[in-house]
Amino acid sequence: NIPGATWLIQLTAMRLPWARLAACPNDPAGLLTAAALPVPQAEAARRLLIVWHSRTGMAEQMAQALHRGAKQAALEMEASSGLVIDILRANEVQVPQLLCADGFLFCAPENLATMSGEMKEFFDRSYYGALGRLTARP
């Protein structure tokens, strides 16, 4: 069990419906929109996005532990069918995946008193496409 996982699952259940927009293929920052993403089958389902980066494998192991902890917390709350957990490496995540998520966990090593370069690149790449569109999400 991961301390705080139950708190995280409870927070993700508080999200209101959000527009689900997909970025154009030639628009990695998601500044343009093309089409609506498919809505999960159960509209009541909440989506947790775990974004990770690791060179040595340690942060990846931590992200996997966060994934297991979130699943376990959902089971304990009898809400496992209402939670979808996506776990993606930072270089795979695009703005539409951020917009579809109800909550986030970010996992990366600290390098020279800052986050790893790949995680920083993820935030830089996603910034303008997500600006003002993720307000109040945990």
Tell me the pLDDT tens digit for each residue of 72-101.
Answer: 998 888 877 788 999 999 999 999 999 999
Query: Cα separation of 108 and 9, whole Å?
Result: 21
Tell me the pLDDT tens digit for each residue of 12-24.
Answer: 443 433 333 444 4
3-class secondary-structure state, position 32: coil
3-class secondary-structure state, position 106: strand
CA neighbours closer than 13 Å in the CB half-sphere of residue 8: 23
Query: Cα separation of 75 and 62, whole Å?
Result: 20
The predicted model scores a pTM of 0.68
